[in-house]
């Protein structure tokens, strides 16, 4: 059991790989359906689901696999979904200085499905938006539409 928790709480190291945005790409970059797993910090039970992470580049673009790596980095610790969503968005904002960031996580919490209310099949959706993806209605709508979320 101790080894299982050690595995759950250990993320792989990664180097941030960015590239100059030489072409001036100014449209949304979105990785959707990224698998996410973490452990509820209140009950030490897992939650699993998918994350949709996007950004509107500024001077740099990010190596695409790094979106999944950032997700894994913050998910590999006892966590609440709300904080996880915000940590990913803030990290991308700090390291890329993009024109906008959007993160949505949809997850099933076993602390809700296996115990207590036993709401089997329920999911929790959280979002964190900044910059144009928060302030510009058309950019916001594009993010949610491309992520497959109808708002």
Residues annotated catalytic, as ranges: 40-43, 81, 109, 111
Taking CA atoms, 109 is separated from 5, 11, 100, 114, 144, in Å, by 17, 20, 29, 8, 22
The three-state DSSP-derived secondary structure of 36-91 is EEEEECCCCCEEEEEEEEEEECCCEEECCHHHHHHHHHHHCCEECHHHHHHHHHHH
């Amino acid at each position: 059991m101790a080894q299982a928790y050690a595995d759950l709480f250990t993320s792989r190291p990664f180097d941030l790989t960015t590239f100059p945005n030489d072409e001036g790409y100014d449209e949304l970059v979105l990785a959707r359906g990224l698998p996410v797993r973490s452990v509820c910090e209140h009950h030490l039970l897992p939650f699993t689901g998918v994350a949709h992470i996007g950004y509107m580049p500024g001077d740099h673009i990010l190596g695409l696999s790094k979106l999944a790596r950032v997700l894994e980095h913050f998910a590999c610790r006892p966590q609440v979904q709300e904080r996880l969503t915000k940590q990913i968005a803030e990290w991308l904002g700090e390291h890329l200085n993009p024109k906008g960031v959007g993160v949505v996580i949809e997850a099933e919490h076993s602390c809700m499905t296996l115990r207590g209310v036993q709401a089997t099949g329920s999911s929790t959706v959280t979002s964190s938006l900044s910059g144009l993806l928060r302030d510009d209605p058309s950019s916001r709508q594009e993010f949610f539409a491309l992520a497959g979320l109808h708002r």
